[in-house]
Amino acid sequence: MTSIAKLIDHSLLRPELTEAEVREGCALAARYGVASVCVRPADVPLAAGLLRGTGVLVGTVAGFPHGSSATATKAAEAALAVAQGAAEVDMVVNIGWLRSGDLADVEADIRAVVDAAAGATVKVILENAYLTADQIAAGCRAAERAGAHFVKTSTGFAPGGATMDDLALMRATVSPHVGVKAAGGVRTLDTLLAMAAIGVTRFGATATAAILDDAAHREAHGAPAAAGAAPADGGY
């Protein structure tokens, strides 16, 4: 179960979450030993304090959820988040620029965040629900050229989330040293395993406990991990 836990970024991004719910989410992340929590920018100091010494990283978002913030704003968000204890920043690409084919601007936008993050991990959210296959591939290539560490399918707030076809395309487009993150609709262990089998190495999820409890149950009973379930669409 530990190896599966380290594939998961436990998502705490819903706008209505209370401080108590953020605290509970951080406690859950620490209990299960996931890779990280992904919190709203205002929650970074709280999460960093709660998770210090647990081995669970703190991540946050920039330009979220629409990607249309000015580049300087995204970069400032990233710099502040890292200064406050974030080790990872999931930024939303400028979707309109990508759809327009303004790839030099897309790349510059991403590079500004990578530079501002000063060595922290940067994941680029493409928001695939709004993109064609060619646009997804172009966004992946721009992210890699700009020095991003991951490309990511979705915010979880668009009409659709991660799909197997999109993930396979993303994995085939970027080099092996660039990771692929699935988010939006990763609600079961079988979905996670099916996606991991095609090379996805990080997952944004709110169903973290259900996924990892299932993994522990199978491990305890010697059951083989099942794969091949179709991913559902929807939010984190």
Query: Is 123 annotated as catalytic?
Result: no
CB 233 within 8 A of CB 201: no
Catalytic residue among 43, 90, 109, 214: 90
Query: Is 9 annotated as catalytic?
Result: no
Q: What Cα–Cα distance (Å) separates residue 28 from each residue in 9, 32, 50, 235? A: 12, 6, 11, 20
DSSP states of 52-83: TTSS-EEEEEESTTT--S-HHHHHHHHHHHHH
Strand partners, 57: 36
**Token pair recorded at residue 147:** 């020095």
Query: Is 165 annotated as catalytic?
Result: no
Count of all residues that appear for the chain in the document: 236
Catalytic residue among 109, 123, 152, 166: 152
Catalytic residue among 9, 43, 109, 181: 181
3-class secondary structure per residue, 113-148: HHHHHCCCEEEEECCHHHCCHHHHHHHHHHHHHCCC
Q: What Cα–Cα distance (Å) separates residue 159 from each residue in 25, 152, 184, 232? A: 25, 16, 10, 12
Give me the active site residues, please.
90, 152, 181
